[in-house]
């Protein structure tokens, strides 16, 4: 049976890294089972160790051999299936992390997986793929690099401030022109910069935030009556909730089987 584990990072790194998590299939487990990963408004550096696997997103099918990958923002559920003896290490970055690397243009980089080279990683030191099989080393490496990045950029910049603001809001209707005015930028410039840094439109990012908020409430069973609470979560009614939830998760809220999903949170 596959095993899932989470590893927290330091307070400094937390600005840019939600968490590190692993998903591993034992060598003696010959069963073939898909695991579903729901959108969470994050990029990921993913290290596939040991054996290969398969992944499916809205935009493509990937047969993956051991290596290092960058996964984009996801707007719908993605599927992962591992071969026996395979292990995934996810370094889950916030939506704004890559905005600190201005040479990157992520416009339209959504629902995709891209294989990268060790030299493409931001950790400026000599690395071997085998290093990433040691989870304590991975946590140390992430804390060291992103702690330095936090020291280099002690004050949050535009995209970080904007995303943090959007995550903290519970309003159902956030208008782009109001956001632009609040952050001292034109609506068009705000939209262009947001897409360049996150790959997504503001509307798409808000949709993911609202979905994760609803999912969290369902999983924690805080909503004794989903119908009554659906409007407060930003949905018009139960029908709207079901339709939107199913479009993202490919299943209705009432049929959600947590055993089928890998559910790292959007922190």
Q: For residue 253, what is the domain's CATH number?
A: 1.10.10.60
What distances in angstroms separate CA 71 from CA 65, 109, 112, 161, 265, one per listed residue?
Answer: 15, 9, 6, 23, 16
- Whether residue 119 sits in one domain with residue 24: yes
- Domain presence at residue 76: yes
pLDDT at 17: 96
Nearest in space to 112 (alpha carbons), one of 62, 68, 38: 62
pLDDT at 83: 93
Domain count, the chain: 2
Q: Supply the CATH number for residue 109's domain.
A: 2.60.120.10
Q: Which of 120, 152, 184 corresponds to the end of one domain?
A: 152
Q: Which of 152, 187, 207 corresponds to the end of one domain?
A: 152
- Domain presence at residue 201: yes
- Domain presence at residue 267: no
| Residue 204 pLDDT greater than 50, yes or no | yes
- The token pair at 216 is 């969290």
pLDDT-based confidence at 129, cuts 50/70/90? confident
Least confident window among 84-98, 227-241, 251-265:
227-241
Per the CB < 8 A criterion, the answer to whether 36 and 76 are in contact is no
| Residue 31 pLDDT greater than 80, yes or no | no
- Whether residue 194 sits in one domain with residue 146: no
pLDDT at 80: 94
Of all residues in the chain, the percent with pLDDT exceeding 70 is 90
Q: Which of 136, 152, 168 corresponds to the end of one domain?
A: 152
pLDDT average, residue stretch 246-252: 86
- Whether residue 145 sits in one domain with residue 14: yes
54 burial type by CB count under 10 A (0-12 exposed, 13-18 middle, 19+ buried): middle
- Domain presence at residue 207: yes
pLDDT at 231: 47
- Whether residue 126 sits in one domain with residue 105: yes
Question: Mean pLDDT in the chain?
Answer: 87
Domain residues for the domain of 95 are: 3-152
pLDDT at 265: 60
- Whether residue 208 sits in one domain with residue 163: yes
pLDDT average, residue stretch 194-210: 92
| Residue 150 pLDDT greater than 60, yes or no | yes
pLDDT average, residue stretch 65-71: 95
């Amino acid at each position: 049976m596959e095993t899932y584990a989470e590893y927290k990072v330091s307070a400094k790194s937390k600005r840019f890294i939600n968490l590190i998590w692993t998903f591993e299939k034992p060598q003696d487990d010959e069963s073939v089972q898909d695991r579903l990963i729901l959108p969470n408004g994050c990029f990921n550096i993913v290290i596939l160790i040991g054996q290969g696997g398969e992944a499916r997103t809205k935009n493509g099918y990937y047969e993956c051999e051991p290596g290092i990958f960058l996964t984009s923002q996801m707007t719908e559920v993605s599927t992962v299936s591992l071969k026996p003896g395979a292990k995934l290490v996810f370094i889950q970055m916030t939506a704004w992390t890559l905005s600190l690397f201005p040479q990157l243009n992520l416009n339209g980089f959504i629902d995709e997986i891209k294989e990268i080279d060790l030299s493409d990683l931001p950790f400026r030191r000599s690395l071997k793929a085998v290093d990433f099989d040691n989870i304590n080393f991975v946590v140390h490496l992430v804390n060291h690099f992103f702690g330095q990045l936090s020291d280099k950029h002690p004050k949050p910049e535009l995209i970080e401030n904007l995303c943090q603001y959007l995550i903290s809001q519970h309003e159902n209707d956030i208008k782009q022109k109001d956001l632009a005015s609040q952050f001292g930028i034109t609506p068009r410039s705000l939209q262009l910069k947001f897409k360049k840094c996150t790959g997504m439109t503001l509307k798409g990012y808000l949709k993911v935030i609202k979905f994760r908020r609803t999912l969290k409430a369902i999983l924690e069973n805080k909503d004794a009556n989903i119908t009554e609470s659906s409007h407060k979560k930003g949905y018009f009614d139960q029908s709207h909730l079901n339709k939107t939830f199913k479009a993202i998760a490919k299943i209705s809220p009432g049929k959600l089987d947590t055993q089928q999903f890998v559910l790292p949170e959007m922190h």
